[in-house]
């Protein structure tokens, strides 16, 4: 009886006219199917559902490819349009400083929150040492060693592109953003001579947004397939061992969504957070499905401009930088994950170590790309910073974290996107560029996807 009611609700939601309901239903159905049709374990018989798994794997990957292909032209064109519309370099400096202050503030608060939660709940103490021997240590060490973000000095150097075309081709978004910001400022500073360049990028931006609309036609099957393959691959058994760690991360993420962002929106800009969250609902679901804030960027921009009432000038400046720099969820996650490892291995730490972990988690999350698992890869930077041990020593624990990361990654990507949207709304409000009539009038919203 209950199952019947559940299906009825799902169907009703699925038939609702709004596209974001369709996406939500697609995610739920994907998760349910994934639990019921898991990938075979080694002990199991040959995969009876091979074709189903393969098919949805392909559909999901195609969707990710389609949205990822939009990201580089979108970041470049929106930033150049945004920066050049800011006018002179003083305006740009003022706005840049404001946005960066918000980003750092949010990341600082979430790092402190992560430290508080991990020290209080002690998720690492739950584990038995012998769990680590089961882990696939060698491949983890290899992955970490291949990580381009291992060393802090290289991280900083890599922010400045040696050749912007190379960074564009590799979709290395931090150097692309640095170059584009400077280039946009230079174009704005040459007056009329720069107009054709600006017109070109305006047209590029509009065309890229159009392309986003087309690609989002595939959002429902795409997100369904991604949810299905993720759950079918990782299963849900692993949650048994690590439930306290998972709970710690999820509590921290929820705290940001229901306390920190709403409080900031209310006190600094008198914005009702539910209106903003409703406006960006498609972006939230796509972030969850793709685990990539960069890939979600086109939809984030569309939601913020068309529904949240944020001006194009602010959205096109804050959101691309936010998707690359502002990763509040990742910062908090890195603090929790590192403290978890230290607790699990019974490595004693003092207040100074905790301070370093907080500081380096902020730096590492800024350096983390907006792609799946970036937050876990850049943990190496945080671990190295406290330098108490060899990486190899922690590899077993890292393997455990990898085994469960995809689902947490989906959740933190949602919060990363929400955080950048919150900053964009705050900045727009303080600049008098938030159209509250649009934000508060849901009935007049157009479909974003
Ligand atoms: N996947 C996250 C994002 O794209 C980054 C992370 O791994 O924390 O925002």
Q: Find the 237 Cα to ligand 1 centroid distance in Å.
A: 23
Weakest-pLDDT range from 178-182, 353-357, 367-371, 413-417? 367-371
Q: Does ligand 1 come within 6 angstroms of the Cβ of 413? A: yes
Per-residue confidence at 135, pLDDT binned at 50, 70, 90?
very low
pLDDT tens-digit readout, 287-343 = 998 889 988 999 999 999 999 999 998 998 999 999 988 999 999 999 999 999 888
Q: What is the C-alpha separation between 318 and 75, in angstroms, rounded?
A: 11
Ligand 1 pocket mutation pick from 368, 380, 418 by most atoms within 8 angstroms of CB: 368
Average pLDDT, the chain: 83
State which of 71-75, 218-222, 328-332, 445-449 shows the largest mean pLDDT. 328-332
Q: Find the 410 Cα to ligand 1 centroid distance in Å.
A: 8
Atom of ligand 1 nearest to the CA of 293: 4
Atom of ligand 1 nearest to the CA of 372: 1
- pLDDT of 70: 86
Q: Find the 353 Cα to ligand 1 centroid distance in Å.
A: 24
Count the neighbouring beta carbons within 10 Å of the beta carbon of residue 306.
17
Q: Positive or negative CA dihedral for 348, 353, 354, 356?
A: negative
Q: Find the 292 Cα to ligand 1 centroid distance in Å.
A: 6
- pLDDT of 34: 85
Instruction: Report the 3 state secondary structure along the chain.
Output: CHHHHHHHHHHHHHHCCCHHHHHHHHHHHHHHHHHHCCCCCCCCCCCCCHHHHHHHHHHHHHHHHHHHHHHHHHHHHHHHHHHHHCCCHHHHHHHHHHHHHHHHHHHHHHHHHHHHHHHHHCHHHHCCHHHHHHCCHHHHHHHHHHCCCCCHHHHHHCCCCCCHHHHHHCCCHHHHHHHHHHHHHHHHHCHHHHHHHHHHHHHHHHHHHHHHHHHHHHHHHHHHHHHHHHHHHHCCHHHCCCHHHHHHHHHHHHHHHHHHHHHHHHHHHCCCHHHHHHHCHHHHHHHHHHCCHHHHHHHHHHHHHHCCCECHHHHHHHHHHHHHHCCHHHHHHHHHHHHHHHHHCCCCCCHHHHHHHHHHHHHHHHHCCCCCCHHHHCHHHHHHHHCCCCHHHHHHHHHHHHHHHHHHHHHHHHHHHHHHHHHHHHHHHHCCCECHHHHHCHHHCCCCC
Nearest by Cα to 285 from 4, 12, 29, 15: 29
Q: What is the mean pLDDT of residues 221-235?
A: 83
Q: Find the 57 Cα to ligand 1 centroid distance in Å.
A: 20
Place of tokens 């490595």: 347
Nearest by Cα to 318 from 85, 168, 94, 96: 96
Token digits for 33? 């199917």
Q: What is the C-alpha separation between 412 and 253, in angstroms, rounded?
A: 7
Place of tokens 């991604």: 226
Q: What is the mean pLDDT of residues 36-48?
A: 65
Q: Does ligand 1 come within 6 angstroms of the Cβ of 369? A: no
Atom of ligand 1 nearest to the CA of 376: 7
Q: What is the C-alpha separation between 101 and 105, in angstroms, rounded?
A: 6
Q: Find the 256 Cα to ligand 1 centroid distance in Å.
A: 16
- pLDDT of 403: 75
Higher pLDDT, 75 or 386: 75
Ligand 1 pocket mutation pick from 323, 409, 418 by most atoms within 8 angstroms of CB: 409
Ligand 1 pocket mutation pick from 249, 291, 295 by most atoms within 8 angstroms of CB: 291
Q: Positive or negative CA dihedral for 379, 68, 286, 10?
A: negative
Ligand 1 pocket mutation pick from 288, 289, 293, 417 by most atoms within 8 angstroms of CB: 293
- pLDDT of 376: 85
Report whether pLDDT(449) > 90.
no
* CATH superfamily to which 17-34+53-444 belongs: Sodium:dicarboxylate symporter (1.10.3860.10)
Report whether pLDDT(424) > 90.
yes
Contact (Cβ atoms closer than 8 angstroms) between residue 418 and residue 288: no
Atom of ligand 1 nearest to the CA of 291: 1
- pLDDT of 236: 66
Backbone angles phi, psi at 147, to 5 degrees: -60, 125
Ligand 1 pocket mutation pick from 366, 371, 377, 420 by most atoms within 8 angstroms of CB: 371
Atom of ligand 1 nearest to the CA of 296: 4
- pLDDT of 307: 92
Backbone angles phi, psi at 310, to 5 degrees: -85, 135
Q: Does ligand 1 come within 6 angstroms of the Cβ of 335? A: no
- pLDDT of 139: 52
Atom of ligand 1 nearest to the CA of 368: 5
Q: Does ligand 1 come within 6 angstroms of the Cβ of 412? A: yes
Per-residue confidence at 134, pLDDT binned at 50, 70, 90?
very low
Question: Does the predicted TM-score (pTM) go above 0.85?
Answer: no
Per-residue confidence at 117, pLDDT binned at 50, 70, 90?
very high
pLDDT tens-digit readout, 72-115 = 888 889 888 888 877 677 778 888 899 999 999 999 999 999 99
Atom of ligand 1 nearest to the CA of 295: 4
Per-residue confidence at 15, pLDDT binned at 50, 70, 90?
low
Instruction: Please give the radius of gyration of the chain, using alpha carbons only, rounded to the nearest integer.
Output: 22
Closest Cα to atom 1 of ligand 1: 372
Q: Does ligand 1 come within 6 angstroms of the Cβ of 365? A: no
Q: Find the 298 Cα to ligand 1 centroid distance in Å.
A: 16
Nearest by Cα to 21 from 32, 11, 35: 11
Q: What is the mean pLDDT of residues 269-296?
A: 92
């Amino acid at each position: 009886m209950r199952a019947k009611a559940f299906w009825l609700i799902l169907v009703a939601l699925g038939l609702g006219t709004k596209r974001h309901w369709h996406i939500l239903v697609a995610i739920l159905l994907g998760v349910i199917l994934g639990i019921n049709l898991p990938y075979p374990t080694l002990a199991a018989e040959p995969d009876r559902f091979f074709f189903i798994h393969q098919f949805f794997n392909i559909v999901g990957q195609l969707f990710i490819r389609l949205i990822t292909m939009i990201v580089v032209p979108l970041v470049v064109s929106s930033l150049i349009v945004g920066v050049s519309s800011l006018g002179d370099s003083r305006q740009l400096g003022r706005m840049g400083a404001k946005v960066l202050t918000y980003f750092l503030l949010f990341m600082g608060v979430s790092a402190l929150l992560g430290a508080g939660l991990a020290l209080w709940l002690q998720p690492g103490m739950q584990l038995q040492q012998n769990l680590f021997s089961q882990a696939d240590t060698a491949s983890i060490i290899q992955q970490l060693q291949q990580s381009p973000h291992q060393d802090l000095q290289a991280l900083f150097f890599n922010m400045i592109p040696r050749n912007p075309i190379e960074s564009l081709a590799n979709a290395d978004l931090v150097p692309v953003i640095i170059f584009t910001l400077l280039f946009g400022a230079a174009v704005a500073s040459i007056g009329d001579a720069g107009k054709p360049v600006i017109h070109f990028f305006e047209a590029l931006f509009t065309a890229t947004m159009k392309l986003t609309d087309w690609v989002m036609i595939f959002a429902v099957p795409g997100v369904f397939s991604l949810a299905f393959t993720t759950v079918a691959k990782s299963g849900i058994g692993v949650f048994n061992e690590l439930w306290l760690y998972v709970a710690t991360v999820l509590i921290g993420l929820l705290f940001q969504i229901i306390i920190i962002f709403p409080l900031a929106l209310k006190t600094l800009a008198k914005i009702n957070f539910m209106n903003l969250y409703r406006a960006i609902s498609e972006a939230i679901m796509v972030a969850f499905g793709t685990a990539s804030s960069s890939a979600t960027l086109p939809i984030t921009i569309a939601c913020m401009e068309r529904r949240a009432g944020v001006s194009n000038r602010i959205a096109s400046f804050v959101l691309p930088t936010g998707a690359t720099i502002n990763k509040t969820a990742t910062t908090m996650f890195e603090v929790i994950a590192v403290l978890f490892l230290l607790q699990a291995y019974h490595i004693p730490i003092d207040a100074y170590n905790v301070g370093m972990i907080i500081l380096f988690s902020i730096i590492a999350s800024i350096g983390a790309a907006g792609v799946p698992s970036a937050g876990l890869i850049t943990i190496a930077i945080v671990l190295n910073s406290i330098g108490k041990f060899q990486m190899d020593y922690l590899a077993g624990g890292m393997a455990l974290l990898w085994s469960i990361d995809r689902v947490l990654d989906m959740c933190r990507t949602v919060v990363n996107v929400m955080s950048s949207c919150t900053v964009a709304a705050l900045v727009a409000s303080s600049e008098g560029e938030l159209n509250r009539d649009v934000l508060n009038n849901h009935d007049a919203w157009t479909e974003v996807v």
